[in-house]
Amino acid sequence: MSYTKSMLKARRKFTLKFLALYLVTIGLLLATCSISVKYLTVEDQSNFFRYFLILSPVIPALLLLFLSRWFLKSTDELHRNIVIKGLLWGLSATMLMIIPWSFLEFFRADMLDLRANYLLQIFVIFYAIGMIYGHWKSGAYVKSNDYDPWREPKS
């Protein structure tokens, strides 16, 4: 299985869009901070940063899922299945880790403190593992340089 031109295009567009959105997000965050520092009073600033702190983690979570959803729409069936498999793997592995852990923590067993904000990181790691496994299992991983649009397809 090798990449077709449309697959490569979708992957390239995904990477570019991700980088662009990431840079725009960082830029917006920095701009908001600098405007608040310049124009708000000290008391308002502390209130502003408190709410800003609450809202800012939402951005990577939404960005990740928005881009995954967009990638699902723009790519082919094989890669769509790999993304879905990654999501499902991520979900089950996270659940299997978190339910017993939090359960023991709740009943005061000697467990390390697992905070709610670690959930995204844990999910992303398992999501990535699921995607890599999906790529490996489907045999879809071929370096993009291997693609030659002029080469005759093997029958």
Where does residue 148 fall: left (phi above 0), alpha (psi -120 to 50 degrees), or beta otherwise? beta
Q: Does 45 bind other proteins (CB under 8 A)?
A: no
Contact present, 5 and 147 (Cβ < 8 Å): yes
Please identify, using beta-carbon distances, which residue of 16 and 119 lies nearer to other proteins. 119
Measured from the CB of residue 57, what is the shortest distance to other proteins in angstroms?
4
User: Of 38 and 53, which has the nearer Cβ to other proteins?
Assistant: 53
Span of 2-10, 20-28, 112-120, 146-154 interacting with other proteins by CB under 8 A: 112-120
The candidate with the shortest Cα–Cα distance to 135, out of 53, 80, 62, 57, is 80
Binders of other proteins among 57-86, rule CB under 8 A? 57-58, 61-62, 64-65, 68-69, 72, 78, 81-82, 84-85
User: Token digits for 87?
Assistant: 């999501």
Residues in the chain: 155
Instruction: Please give the distance of CA 118 from its chain centroid, rounded to a whole number.
Output: 14
Q: Which stretch binds other proteins (CB under 8 A): 8-16, 24-32, 90-98, 146-154?
A: 90-98
Q: Please report how close the Cβ of residue 148 comes to other proteins at its closest, in angstroms.
A: 25
Binding residue (CB under 8 A) for other proteins from 41, 117, 145, 155: 117
User: Interface residues with other proteins (CB under 8 A)?
Assistant: 50, 53-55, 57-58, 61-62, 64-65, 68-69, 72, 78, 81-82, 84-85, 87-88, 91-92, 95-96, 98-107, 109, 114-120, 123, 138
